[in-house]
Amino acid sequence: MHDMIRKTVATAALALLATSPLTHAMDNAPSASPSALNARSTAPLAPSLLKADEYKETDVWGRIRSGYAIPDIDNSLVQRHTQAYSARPDSLKRISGRASPYLYHIVQELEKRGMPTELALLPVIESAFNPQALSTADAAGLWQFVPGTGKDYDLKQNMFKDERRGVLASTDAALSYLQRLYTMFGDWQLALAAYNWGEGNIQRIVKKNQALGKPTDFESLAELMPAETRNYVPKLQAVKNIIANPAQYNVALPAIDNQPYFTAIDKTSDIDVAVAAQLAEMSLDEFKALNPQFKKPVITGGEKTKILLPKANAEKFQLNLAQWGRELSSWTTHKITSARTSIAALASKFGTTPEVIRQANNIPAKSTVTAGSTILVPKVSASNAGDIAENIIDNAVVAFEAERSPRVKASTSRYKAKAATSSKNRIARNTSSKRKQR
């Protein structure tokens, strides 16, 4: 039986290797914690799960297929979504290209935890594998965590970074959350529905059907769910069907090598994003695709802060860093003490332009910052040579108010919502169900 599976996977992998080349374009996504929860799931590995090292998989797609373990569903919604996805092969190809830097890591983490590998496809539904995606419910990143649940899973959200977008941190949090939901419901389809709608809502309708003596499987409960959740599992099943046999649906998947795409390196001190990309000999877009959690033009934080780079670029980074011989960061912070400080005055004080100050701090047009705010400014003297202090990183806040309009109430942002993210990354969602417990 294993020989037959091995031959099937090998054939699929060879077919995939003949498809279009890997693309790293990061175009826009379509509209659309308790540490104890890191405990491993009690769910056993699927009997047919093929280990990459054992069977020498050459393509991540084949590795995902070999670890499918969630029972299939086949209904009109699955058929409708399968048709919709397969009717847009170019879109799936773009999403697959965006997924290429992340999939190996996600599959590796799923296998470590003994979880079904088709869960690696969930970001197709959540974010179209755009780490900068932001929903209308303020859910962010590949796995679409809302701020509150991000906090529950120790995903830091401050002025300088949002770990809901970080590849390593958000993946670890998402898998821990999914494991918790599986342990709660004993059913992956209900766990997925709870990931979308919230465990409390799923528990409520399970109890309702139990009281009526009705079944409590996903399809029996689906009519009690809002439309978005009712379609959520069928959408994943549709993607799963297409990945299982892309040729059947005339879909060409970019080949993704079954080896790590990136490696994590330690950040030794504050470093400008532009400098880090330069030292790694990468474009800014490529660098940000692997490090989307950094919100400012400077990367701050202590030894636990990691930068992700492709292996070859990590080697270049270390070599170039050794020969750099200059300041790595050109930014520091400044606390506003005056009740009314204009952006023009700040720019003059720090030898820059108002546009630079606005862009670095996401200050809206025709607005200024209020007293008590901490903003990012260029370094202007040797006294600013040190790193930005950890307590400032964790606690800095900023508030804006309209220029020349003292009676307009200040609008405060603690850098945990939408002010710092471009609207072009938003995903249109049906939020009428008030989902997004995540």
Which residues are identified as catalytic?
Answer: 126
Q: How many CB atoms lie within 10 A of CB 177?
A: 22
How far is 269 from 273, CA to CA, in rounded Å? 12
Would you give the end-to-end CA distance of the chain in angstroms?
A: 40
User: Which residues have a Cβ under 8 Å from the Cβ of 84 and sit 6 or more positions away?
Assistant: 238
**Calpha distance 254→95 (Å, rounded):** 10
Closest CA to 157 of 386, 429, 421, 356: 421
**Cα 121 to Cα 61: distance, rounded to the nearest angstrom:** 10
User: 116, 106, 152: which is closest to 43 by C-alpha?
Assistant: 116
* Contacts of the segment 381-384: beta carbons below 8 A, 24+ positions apart: 384/332
* 187's tokens: 């059913």
Report the alpha-carbon distance of residue 308 to residue 292 in Å, rounded.
Answer: 10
Residue type, 267: K
Question: Residue 132: CA atoms inside 13 Å, Cβ hemisphere, count?
Answer: 20
| 3-class SS shares of the chain: helix, strand, coil, % to 5 | 45, 10, 45
Which helix or strand (DSSP H or E) is residue 7 part of?
helix 2-17
